[in-house]
Amino acid sequence: MGYLVGTDEAGYGPNLGPLVVSASVWQVPGDPCEADLYESLRDVVTAAPPTRRRTTAANGDQVDRACRPLLLADSKVVYRPSGGLADLEFGLLSALAWVGPRPRSWREAWEALDADGFARVESLPWHDGYDRPLTRDAATIDRQAAAVRAGAEVAGVRLVAMRCRAVFPELWNQRIEEHLNKSTVLSLVTLELLGDVLDVLGTLEAGPVLAICDKHGGRDRYRPLLQRCLTDALVEVRCEGRDESQYGWGRGERRVDVAFRAKAERYLPAALASMASKYLRELAMEAFNDFWRRHVPGLAATAGYPVDAARFKADIASAQQALGIDDRILWRDR
């Protein structure tokens, strides 16, 4: 028995809204370095979106989901802005229902995924008091979650935990000032989250760990950061290159391997982390846009990426000044 961990981020490039880094943690039979979760769970999970369109009931609820394998894939496959959050939300909430109570509201989603950072979320004016129900498709989600959990048990696979860390503009800017490099900040946030995951695994039955992380910018060398953030043991370099950089420490049941791979979202643990990151970021931007549209009638919403973020900031400038909202909590400098 061992553990597979996948990490990924959303929101690395925007000027508005948070960077979100997430991790999904799986227990697998045998050596995690040999595990292929898409293969093990092929009867109940898929990385391929359905070829036929969903049917929709008169009340807007989707009616054909529970009879299909659950779509857990790179968020860029699952989510399209024009299609809304439904597919992303359905897959992520189905997964969360394996590991605990299913979140039923905006606030419960944050508390489930980033409990340690929820106080920072609430402190922002656009999140203060904000809430809404998450889905009208709850019964189908619960049936889907039960079916996938049953299939995973047959395969000897278990989703152990999901963890997220959201970095909003004020903290992002502080860390950029400290480290001068976006890629370094992303790596540090990811490894700090991975450290939290390893602490959780330290309380469970011992087993080797493989963490698969999406590569960070153009970085190929991670050993100093791993040594700094994760372990006092000597970190061994297994390989370093454009496609993959892999490291390890420990032996036997206490072995930890960390692999930084290009396009890591092709692996299920990182794909689910990608979905969690994108979902939380979209929830954050939903509340953000709702706040500003209440104060600026006719304001077009933004996803926060550079060109449109500049437009949005200009459009809210008068309201921002009247509300006394400082740029330090609004705008990411890089």
Distance CA 239, CA 242 (A): 10
Look at residue 59 in the predicted model and tell me its pLDDT. Answer: 46
In this prediction, residue 66 carries a pLDDT of 54
Question: What pLDDT does residue 313 have?
Answer: 98
> 220 and 245 in contact (C-beta within 8 Å)?
yes
The tokens for 309 are 């973020």
Residues of the chain with pLDDT under 50: 52-61, 63
8 A C-beta contact, residue 5 and residue 212: yes
Give me the helix-helix angle, 106-113 and 268-295, nearest 10°.
140
**Phi-psi region at 113: left, alpha or beta (left = phi > 0; alpha = psi -120 to 50):** alpha
DSSP 66: T
Residues 6+ apart with CB under 8 A from 311: 300, 302
> So what's the pLDDT on residue 83?
79
pLDDT digits (tens, 9 = 90+) for 306-324: 999 999 999 999 999 999 9
pLDDT tens digits, one per residue of 84-98: 899 999 999 999 998
Residue type, 158: R
Question: What does the DSSP assignment read for 199-243?
Answer: HHHTTS----EEEEEE--TT----HHHHHHHT-SSPPEEEEESSS
Rounded to the nearest 10°, the torsion over CA 71, 77, 82, 88 is 40
Q: pLDDT value at position 216?
A: 86
The fold for domain 2-284 equals Nucleotidyltransferase; domain 5 (3.30.420)
